[in-house]
A and B are shown apart, each in its own frame.
Chain A
Amino acid sequence: MIERLLDDARRRARGADAIWRRVESTSVSFDWGRLKAAGATEEAGIGLRVLRDGRVGTAGTTAVAAAGELVDRALASADLGGTVELTLPGAAPLPPVPTHFDRAAGASLDDLIAIGRGVLERLTRDGCQVSVGIGRDISETRVANTAGAHASYRTTAVGVSAEIWRFAGDDVLMIGDSWEGCDLPAQDRLDALVRSITDRLERALRIVAPPEGALPVVFTPPGLAAILLPVTQALSGKAVLQGISPLAGRLGQQVFDPAFSVTDDPLRPGRAASRPIDDECVPSAPLPLVARGSVRGFIYDLETAARANTRSTGHGQRGIFSKPVPGYTNIIIGEAGSGNDDAVGELGGGLLGDVRDGLVVDELIGVGQGNVIGGAFSHPVALAYRVERGEITGRVKDAAVAGNAYELLKRIGGFGTDGRWYGARHTPSLLLEGVSVARR
């Protein structure tokens, strides 16, 4: 299909590239403790980009049967389009990465229901409501361009998410967690998911007063979102090009704690975002972004790389309907070489021992609002615990934390032993000193 489109485009434009993707998903959900729905989706679409007279145009469709009109539409888009001299990559050998697991692809609806029921039953307790969702995607992707590059690969992805709700008058507590991977979860992964939720729930039942002042705070892997979001935004070549990245021009400089590293690894085995080639036909490779505290690189797709006079790092991500943008795959935070798997760690990652008075922050409200990339943050806590003399003494409500991510990451008080995947990011808990904590 896309070969025919590219042949057509080749005759009428200087170059073109295309992506075809087909996804088949199956999902079941237990809402408020009850299995009520099962779903299936089948979706396919084509995205086309053409280059003509130094201009770029794109078009996309899910009406695959009528895809012939795509070239016309993409050319019309190019007539108006921005000018950029893109060089499409040629054919290249692809790195091996396992992305398709027969066991996941072959799992029946009943298999998925059984996984969900197992998690549900272990989370069920008096006075609480539990919701569990399980999804499995089987995808096939083809990418090709007029410079001779072409590839296709299949992936499987499985996700399990669970949340527990507890209402006590107007105090509402919600604690959730999720697991995702390419294969069905092993039993110990599900055990860890259940334990992660029940552990945080049990420690949240007692409410204590929040401390106040500039204090040591342990940010858990989910809680680190507010700290890491500015960093990952600033490490995008697009932000550098727009002149809004505080890390632009700092290549090679020591900006963070010498133990702090950030790597994006599209070849990480077992991860749903892994792939041998990006959506613009650039072969995948791990990319060090921060190593031992120094800025080492930024992620680029073809267009931002062309405009920044550099090379694509293989981070082109593209939906059917939109043009490619730079995007991360699997982000690994911490010391280089770490992050192979999910450690089964306790809350706080073993970092609480040295904390005389402080907090464990697991979730904040409003992360992503405002001027994120600048690094300054100020958020009410959604889920946080007080730490006194090395022990968690209870949950704090009505507290807010504030600081500047870049300043806090200059001196990291400790890396936890609880490194794990949370969404697209692998990180341990981090102990950060001098975080502003206020009562509300």
Chain B
Amino acid sequence: MKDRLLDALRTSRADYTEIRVERTWGSSVTYRGRRLESATATEDQGGFVRALHRGYGWGVASFTSLERLPAMVARATELSRAIRVEDPIRLADVPPHEADALLDLDGDVRGVPLAEKKRLIEAYNGEMLAVSDRVVDTLASYRDEVTEYWFVSSAGAMLHELRPEVTLSGTAVARRNGTIEKGLESIGLRRGWTGAQSRSAGFRAAAERAVALLDAPGVKGGRYPVVLDPELAGVFIHEAFGHLSEADFIYENPQAREMMTLGRRFGRPVLNVGDNGAEPGLRGTLPFDDEGTPTQDTPLIREGVLVGRLHSRETAARLGERPTGNARALSFRHAPIVRMTNTYIGNGRGTFEDLIRDIKLGVYACGAFGGQTLLENFSFTAAYGRMIRDGHQAELVKDVVLAGNLFQTLDRIERIAGDFRWNQMGGGCGKAGQGPLPVTEGAPHVRIEEALIGGDVPA
């Protein structure tokens, strides 16, 4: 394959050309209730070529038939030539790497029969169904993938990797009369068959939570001191802040750049935020991004002040900064764009109990059913919550929706506990039609001085 790629590369007349080829073996098994919904294996393959002539635009071609590789190199160079740009596109230098970075497959899923995968997820599904008669429906799915990946560029890069991934997810639906509640479990790992074992407890807990929520009152809407658990805090920092630190949002946009000026204060000195694509063992981790740049730990907010952002080679060159290894593509079907990897809120001090000790009345918001950020506004639906009364956790509450303005909310993060953890969830991040891209988030418990908890809107 390498020779084939290098031969194709040599035919390009562009100033810069890169080729990616991927071959992905995948399988998935899904249960709904006691019924097996599907068990299937797939094979996906294809390539991607990107070419750039000095003074012209990007020409991009993707394809599923590898016989078409030389023709698609020609097509990409021709597309580049079709676009004249006044302001030349420049790429920040990255030393070309040659690597055979075979990630640890952790029990190669390709050697495991589909029937065994079925038994595994059937057992986890059974854990949810066994919790109570009130669990009326479940959805449980196992999904795995191994991608063999090649990247070559005319700058001399030559990468070959095997990338494993396994995800497990469960939804338990509990019902009593007209009331329906859900509990979710989601695990996503850049690992293999071994990593998928011994995960029963999380599935059971999801079903128990769904049942418990049947008796829980809806939270009373209003402004409260709010403590986010590490999972919701991680989702919050990814959605509400992380996307603004992706440099493609600002690099051609002077007003946005002003909003995101380095040195601007975004929070109090307790707040540290970063993105680390090199942290071992996480779902967003890879040795190189899809432009061949090594991944790294990039500080974004240090002691409350904006200190960095995430870059591709192009955005880095435009802003006179260094590439950070964040140019990622969902697959060979897509061009790399600036994306997060493993995004985190840095550790603080003390325990969760310390964090809530002086809260008379507040809300402890846990887990995430979903979240959306639109520019500076966000809305997150927590999986469940607990009231905090007189410094202690009190009753379970549901319909906890956290909504607000990003800048105000970041500035109201007043305390951060010392119990950091990575949340290795499935799902992923969507941007510009490329999703779900594997990412991870991590955080400790985070306390927000005051935030709007809603759902209930008074008529």
Contact = CB atoms under 8 A, between A and B. Distances in A.
A412 B41 CA distance: 48
A43 B44 contact: no
Contact of A59 (B36, B42, B374): B42
A169 B405 CA distance: 14
A44 B452 CA distance: 49
Contacts of B256: 129, 165, 167, 172
Given A57-B40, A321-B42, A62 B377 contact: no
A61 B43 contact: yes
Contacts of B136: 243
Contacts of A173: 375
A402 B401 CA distance: 13
Contact of A39 (B60, B253, B374, B457): B60
Interface stretch (B123-131, B293-301, B364-372): B364-372
A64 B459 CA distance: 58
Contacts of A127: 255
Interface stretch (B7-15, B83-91, B412-420): B83-91
Contact of A365 (B57, B333, B377, B457): B377
A401 interface: yes
Interface stretch (A268-276, A283-291, A370-378, A425-433): A370-378
Contact of A40 (B29, B60, B458): B60
B459 A214 contact: yes
Contacts of B248: 31
Contacts of A174: 374-375
B112 interface: no
B369 A370 contact: yes
A38 interface: yes
Interface stretch (B64-72, B201-209, B283-291, B354-362): B64-72
A167 B254 CA distance: 9
Given A242-B137, A321-B44, A370-B370, A81 B38 contact: yes
Interface in A374-433: 374, 378-380, 382, 397-398, 400-402
Contact of A82 (B26, B35, B64, B180): B35
B37 interface: yes
B457 A243 contact: no
B348 interface: no
B60 A37 contact: yes
B196 to A, nearest CB: 17
A254 interface: no
Interface stretch (A72-80, A308-316, A338-346, A349-357): A72-80
B454 A400 contact: yes
A101 interface: no
Interface residues of A, number: 78
Interface string A48-64: 00000000011111111
A93 B64 CA distance: 33
A61 B61 contact: no
A165 B68 contact: no
Contacts of B374: 174, 363, 365, 382
B58 A378 contact: no
A366 B381 contact: yes
B388 to A, nearest CB: 22
Contacts of A129: 252-253, 255-256
A366 B41 contact: no
Q: How large is the interface on B (under 10, 10 to 19, 20 to 34, 35 or more residues)?
A: 35 or more
B57 A35 contact: yes
Contact of B376 (A28, A64, A170, A322): A170
Interface string A94-121: 0000000000000001100100000000
B326 interface: no
A379 B79 CA distance: 43
B182 interface: yes
B214 to A, nearest CB: 13
A41 interface: yes
Given A82-B35, A369-B371, A440-B452, A62 B87 contact: no
Nearest to A82: B36
B98 to A, nearest CB: 27
A203 interface: no
Contacts of B378: 365
B375 A172 contact: yes
Interface centre among B26, B42, B454 (most CB of A within 10 A): B42
A90 interface: no
B85 A35 contact: yes
A336 interface: no
Contacts of B376: 170-172
Nearest to A402: B457
Contact of A368 (B182, B333, B370): B370
Contact of A76 (B57, B79, B114): B114
A436 interface: yes
A250 interface: no
Nearest to B37: A82
Contacts, number: 222
Given A32-B253, A379-B379, A366 B452 contact: no
Contacts of B76: 40
Contacts of B118: 80
A38 B59 contact: yes
A109 B82 contact: yes
A192 B355 CA distance: 54
B183 to A, nearest CB: 13
Interface in B134-152: 136-137
A436 B458 contact: yes
B37 to A, nearest CB: 6
B30 to A, nearest CB: 10
Contacts of B93: none
Nearest to A78: B39
B43 A62 contact: yes
Given A61-B44, A436-B457, A40 B39 contact: no
B352 interface: no
Interface string B211-239: 00000000000000000000000000000
B1 interface: no
A167 B61 contact: no
Nearest to A129: B253
A190 interface: no
Contacts of A59: 40-42
B117 to A, nearest CB: 9
A62 B65 CA distance: 8
Nearest to A45: B64
Given A37-B58, A41-B62, A167-B259, A63 B370 contact: no
A374 B114 contact: no
Interface string B432-459: 0000000000000000000010111111
Given A170-B376, A436-B458, A42 B65 contact: yes
B60 A38 contact: yes
A61 B46 CA distance: 11
B83 A37 contact: yes
Interface in A1-43: 28, 31-43
A110 B58 CA distance: 15
Contact of B371 (A41, A366, A437): A366
Interface centre among A45, A63, A174, A379 (most CB of B within 10 A): A63
B65 A44 contact: yes
B62 A43 contact: yes
Contacts of A91: none
Interface of A: 28, 31-45, 57-66, 73, 76-77, 79-82, 109-110, 113, 127, 129, 165-167, 169-174, 213-214, 242-244, 321-323, 363, 365-371, 374, 378-380, 382, 397-398, 400-402, 434, 436-438, 440
Given A41-B63, A80-B36, A172-B376, 16 more contacts: A34-B252, A39-B60, A60-B40, A61-B44, A64-B64, A80-B39, A82-B36, A165-B256, A174-B374, A321-B40, A366-B379, A380-B403, A398-B405, A400-B454, A401-B457, A436-B457
16 contacts: A36-B85, A39-B61, A63-B23, A80-B115, A129-B252, A165-B256, A173-B375, A322-B38, A323-B40, A368-B370, A370-B369, A370-B401, A374-B180, A380-B379, A382-B377, A440-B454
